[in-house]
Structure 1
Amino acid sequence: MSERRAHLYCGIVAVIWGLGFIAVERALVSFSCFEILFIRFMGSAILAWLLIIKKLNHIDKRTIQKGVFNGVLLFVAYALQTYAQTLTSVSNNAFLSASGVVMVPYFCYFVFKQKPTKRQMMSSCLCLLGVAILTSSQMTFQWGDLLALGCAVFFAAHLVSLQYTCVLEDSRVINAIQLGTCALLSLPCLCLFSKGPSHITTQSILACVYIVVFATFLCFFLQTKAQQVASASSCSVILSTESLFAVIFSAIILHEYIKMNIIVGGLFILISVILVQTSSLKIVSHRLLKRVKAYR
């Protein structure tokens, strides 16, 4: 597969994830946050495990541990993001969630001892400025905005963890284990906090099908394929545009009013994402590969 096709795959994922925010909004009409999470991860995990059914006898303990750790981070991130959407707008949730990419270099510094560059520090300042402008219509953060920022932290941690654990591993196996872990974690939350849907609409059912098949299973599959030939840096830049598509779709489908502070703040966040992702992630990936090979 060519790098151009890999970038096309990432673009498709960004569009699907952007529309996924709208699907979650539709699904919340009938289902609670944890019901959606259970449906999302259980359905996508089943599809992911079907892909590796012939590899079940070759999965070792270390691979399972890596996949479970990734799954815990991924579940917390999605739980915060989904619950945040019940408390804030699609636009705010999408942009604040995307800001997690800016945090990746700092996690890499603590994990891989790679010091952030001046460019990365500048992008962090731009990101903080964007967040401030984005929420300038309120004197303080709403709970939904705060949860969306928490989601960004865990997405960043998951990205760094996945970068480490997928080296010298079958990414399809790691993906199946992490989705399975998310499904198992969502089960007790479903039992504790869900009272069952009072009414189920056709739109909500279709939204859940979209979330399971396209926004989770297909997107993770395409992203894995793309990163086999394209750098993490270029893929991350393209994937981060999901927030832009989310705002576009929220305006077209949900008729959500886009204020000027959302446009300006979102633009600052997108610029910061592009700046940080085009800096030194290739160097980090190269050094990480050497360290893991030495460890093995």
Structure 2
Amino acid sequence: MNKQELKSNIYFFLAAAIWGFAFVAQRVGAKYLGAFTFNGVRFAMGSLSLIPLLIYFKKNEKQTHEKKVNYKYELKAGAIAGCILFLASTLQQLGIYETTAGKAAFITGLYIVLVPILGLFLKHHTKLNTWIGAILAVIGLYFLSVNESFFISRGDFLEIVGAFFWAAHILLIDYFTKKVDAVKLSFIQFATCSILSMIIALLTEDITMYGLTKAIIPLLYGGICSVGIAYTLQAVGQKHAKPSHAAIILSFESVFACIGGILLLNESLNLRGFLGCSLMLCGMLLSQLKVSIRHSNKSN
């Protein structure tokens, strides 16, 4: 493993920890604000937190005709990524109203298995261990989310659908960060997601100062840490790593979320839930194992 790959791994691990505890912040914020309002404000905070970095890099950037052309592409790339981010984050926040932080994180973590599977449409090769991992993850999802009456709660279902959009988002970020600046891409996608969320919030939700004041700490954490810092760490890290390699480390966000839910929200899981989480985590890791080993061998 070279120095750049080690840096990427550190970025991913930090992002996973931040995102894991962000599920706690989102759960608390959901008590006071509608899903679109919460996401609109936190993604606005996230985009604003990147302005100092944009100014810093702008000073060191040579103003060439090529850069102007690239800026148009950056705007388009950021808008596309922002739309997918809007769909994924909306489904996640709507779902978290009706489930626990730990369950939401583990179900969202299905994107780790979905990334290489969806990669088939981009002509990526998917190995046998990925399919075995996917089967384990689905069995785990059954134990975690499906009750004895074969019923999946609305919150869990929204998280499942959202996982597909999170997988698409990782593939998009992998594609775009090879072509555009990661910080600019992050800024534009956050702004796009914020604008879309606030438009719907203004049309459908009751926004009050009381709710904003009560949710200020979750908003600050969700905006500055989860959005501004963690998503940028992901984008910068993926510039030098494969999406599947990123996914195996980012999968630990579900572990951090479960720990955060237990410690800060007094959430709990029964034996069935722990079995489901264990199977899902095994499936996530197994689906990436050979890819990770092969990538490591190439580096040595």
- Structure 2 residue runs of 5 or longer lacking an equivalent are 296-300
Equivalents in 2 of 1:70, 1:148: separation in Å? 19
Structure 2 counterparts to residues 247-286 of structure 1, below 5 A: 247-280=258-291
Instruction: Say yes or no: does 1:35 pair with 2:46.
Output: no
Q: Name the counterpart of 1:225.
A: 236
Instruction: Say yes or no: does 1:128 pair with 2:138.
Output: yes
Q: Name the counterpart of 1:287.
A: none
8 Å Cα contact 2:8-2:240 kept in structure 1: yes
Structure 2 counterparts to residues 63-82 of structure 1, below 5 A: 63-82=74-93
Equivalents in 2 of 1:123, 1:17: separation in Å? 23
Equivalents in 2 of 1:105, 1:202: separation in Å? 41
- Structure 1 residue runs of 5 or longer lacking an equivalent are 285-296
State how many pairs are aligned.
283
Equivalents in 1 of 2:172, 2:78: separation in Å? 10
Shift of 1:138: 4.6
TM-score normalised according to structure 1 size: 0.88
CA-to-aligned-CA distance 1:190-224 (integer Å, 9 cap, x gap): 11121123734865211111111111101122223
State percent identity of aligned pairs. Answer: 25
Go from structure 1 to structure 2 and tell me whether the alpha carbon gap of 1:201 and 1:109 turns closer, same or farther (over 3 Å shift): closer
TM-score normalised according to structure 2 size: 0.86
What amino acid sits opposite 2:282 in the alignment?
I
Equivalents in 1 of 2:132, 2:167: separation in Å? 18
Q: Name the counterpart of 2:73.
A: 62
Equivalents in 2 of 1:257, 1:72: separation in Å? 34
Shift of 1:229: 4.3
Q: Name the counterpart of 2:9.
A: 7
Instruction: Say yes or no: does 1:44 pair with 2:55.
Output: no
What amino acid sits opposite 1:45 in the alignment?
S
The counterpart of 2:100, out of the listed 80, 83, 89, is 89
What amino acid sits opposite 1:239 in the alignment?
L
Go from structure 1 to structure 2 and tell me whether the alpha carbon gap of 1:283 and 1:78 turns closer, same or farther (over 3 Å shift): farther
Partner of 1:278, secondary structure, is helix
Q: Name the counterpart of 2:200.
A: 189
Shift of 1:118: 1.2
Q: For the aligned residues, what is the CA RMSD?
A: 2.3
What amino acid sits opposite 1:51 in the alignment?
L
Partner of 2:273, secondary structure, is helix
